[in-house]
Structure 1
Amino acid sequence: MAYLDENFLLHSPMALRLFHEVAKDQPIIDYHCHLSPREIATNHRWANISEIWLGGDHYKWRLLRANGIDEDLITGDSTPREKFQAWAETVPYTLRNPIHHWTHIELQRYFGINKLLTPATADEIWEKTNARLAEPDFSTHGLLKKFDVRVVGTTDDPADPLDDPHSIAASDLKTLVVPTFRPDKAMLVDRPDLLNPWLDKLEGASDTSIVHLSD
């Protein structure tokens, strides 16, 4: 039996019915995600599982650090395979953390792998996931189409250029991709060394002088 079966977290007849008869085959409308507009615009293909899983996931980085993993194996210059091994060593210690569930749900649903990720299974899972990523339908556009993603709201700084959203809109991608407003850096009022360069960038992007909060 798989670690997480098709009824994971469905603990009542009503839950089973609502998921399997109503929700399961509905399209995905994702109002908030961490997909890269550039990767969508270029129909990016990932070289290996480390790139797509560990290249920018700060939630996984936090768990790796909590497990005492050297920073070189997290954001440093170690090889993708070495970083994946460090993640495989960490995953067993994430039990009861949602990332433990997400890791294995992703392995099952997208890669057809029903094994737990551990140091002992890392080689096999590395090979199988990378082989799957090399298939034609595992590009960025391919995955959005494969899983019927109708709308994606990317997470964007208001100073970000709009070149990629415009490029996506002009492409043949059927998914609607729209930028969303996330001005986190505007909160850095206690760090003028970071806030002021960001305000300069925002002025350039908006062609507006920013002097007061009301601007």
Structure 2
Amino acid sequence: MKMAFLDQDFLLETPIAQQLFHKYAQKMPIIDFHCHLNPEEIYENRNFKNITRIWLNEGTYGDHYKWRLMRANGVDEDLITGDGDDYDKFVAWAKTIEKSVGNPLYEWTHLELRRFFGIDDLLTEKSAPKI
């Protein structure tokens, strides 16, 4: 049986995997030893101004994997770690990720959109304003 991209059983290929995840693992807290957020802000349950601040950068924290992919796609540094406008940075990420099918960041981006924001749309330059 073929599964839809990023459905509720994404990467869960057997009934046992689905049962273990949905019955047990899904409800457990996330333990992430390689996070790109400030650990203190996670502990304090900080709310961020927007998704750009979480995904790309907030001060000195940010996702260096996303930065590297954006640089490889020719994005100006002002829109990566610089002082560029948050919305413009988000659109730059959308333009980058839509060209990155096959890269784990493509799947991670869409998993985060779905799990944390309830957004099933693919992130593209065209869908960025809606998202």
Structure 1 residue 17: Cα displacement: 2.2
Structure 1 residue 31: Cα displacement: 4.2
Q: Which one of 15, 18, 39 corresponds to residue 16 of structure 1?
A: 18
Report the count of equivalent residues. Answer: 125
> Distance between the aligned counterparts of 2:43 and 2:107, measured in 1?
30
User: What one-letter code is carried by the residue in structure 1 that aligns with 2:128?
Assistant: A
Structure 1 residue 27: Cα displacement: 3.3
Where structure 1 has 5 or more consecutive residues not aligned to the other structure, the ranges are 126-215
User: What one-letter code is carried by the residue in structure 2 that aligns with 1:76?
Assistant: G
User: What one-letter code is carried by the residue in structure 1 that aligns with 2:70?
Assistant: L
Residue pairs, 1:1-215, within 5 angstroms? 3-40=5-42, 43-55=45-57, 56-125=62-131
Percent of aligned pairs with the same residue?
58
Q: Structure with the greater relative contact order (CA < 8 A, sep ≥ 6): 1 or 2?
A: 1
SS in 2 for 1:24: helix
What TM-score do you get using the length of structure 2 for normalisation? 0.83
* Higher Rg of the two aligned structures: 1
> Distance between the aligned counterparts of 1:31 and 1:76, measured in 2?
26
**Aligned-pair RMSD on alpha carbons?**
2.1
User: What one-letter code is carried by the residue in structure 1 that aligns with 2:15?
Assistant: P
Identify the structure with the greater helix proportion.
Answer: 1
- Contact kept, 8 Å, 2:95 with 2:124, in 1: the verdict is yes
- Contact kept, 8 Å, 1:10 with 1:16, in 2: the verdict is yes
> Distance between the aligned counterparts of 1:30 and 1:13, measured in 2?
26
Identify the structure with the greater strand proportion.
Answer: 1
User: What one-letter code is carried by the residue in structure 1 that aligns with 2:130?
Assistant: E
Structure 1 residue 20: Cα displacement: 2.0
Structure 1 residue 79: Cα displacement: 0.5
Structure 1 residue 101: Cα displacement: 0.8
- Contact kept, 8 Å, 1:74 with 1:83, in 2: the verdict is yes
Where structure 2 has 5 or more consecutive residues not aligned to the other structure, the ranges are none
